[in-house]
Amino acid sequence: MSDTHHLDTYLADHLAGSVVALELLEHLEKNHHEAGLQEFFAGLREDIVADRHELESLMKRLAISASTLRSALAWLAEKAGRLKLRLDDSADGSLRLLEATELVATGIDGKRSLWLALAAASEDSRILQGPDYGRLIERAIEQRRRIEPVRLAAARAAFRESAVAKEESLASV
């Protein structure tokens, strides 16, 4: 294993992870047309594409190639995740929306962690300097802030009927 293995692996893993987020957002955009959600998911997807370009640019500068295997595994993981979501709820259902937005939110948190880690490492490594990590961290925080109300609204909708039915069930015991 080469000395560059850790950095190569870390960046390639995050690049592959973006595949999952982008595929989920595309799916959400196609299936949720209510109250401006389609536009919201399209805008968030554009932001994540821009962030992915930042990562690709850094990787290119560091001569790190995208891992075909990691990208394929991420693509398969996203398909498996969508199958799981399909089993849980209809394409435009609130539980599927909750679970999918939660996955995207988790990915955004991971991307923020990526930028924080690279910012810290760049203090000791000149080759990692260059990207505006502060701006990228703020973008991730802003994206996470934007998706949270959508996630919570989906939670309210998904659990509203279920909680009422559960209350009635428990009251009759």
pLDDT in tens, 46-58: 999 999 999 999 9
- Distance separating alpha carbons of residues 37 and 33, to the nearest angstrom: 6
Q: What is the mean pLDDT of the chain?
A: 85
Q: What is the pLDDT of residue 88?
A: 54
Q: For the chain, what percent of residues have pLDDT higher than 90?
A: 52
Closest CA to 48 of 97, 94, 110, 5: 110
**Residues 47, 17: contact at Cβ < 8 Å?**
no
Q: What is the pLDDT of residue 79?
A: 56
Q: What is the pLDDT of residue 3?
A: 67
Q: What is the pLDDT of residue 90?
A: 53
Q: What is the pLDDT of residue 69?
A: 54
| pLDDT, mean of residues 115-144 | 96
Angle between the N-to-C axes of helices 37-61 and 5-31, in degrees from 0 to 180, rounded to the nearest 10: 160
Q: What is the pLDDT of residue 50?
A: 97
> Taking 60 as the threshold, does the pLDDT of residue 105 lie above it?
yes
Mind listing the pLDDT tens digit for each residue in 157-166? 988 877 777 7
Residue 167 binned pLDDT confidence (cut-offs 50, 70, 90): confident
**Domains in the chain and their CATH numbers?**
5-161 (1.20.1260)
What pTM, to 2 d.p., does this model score?
0.84
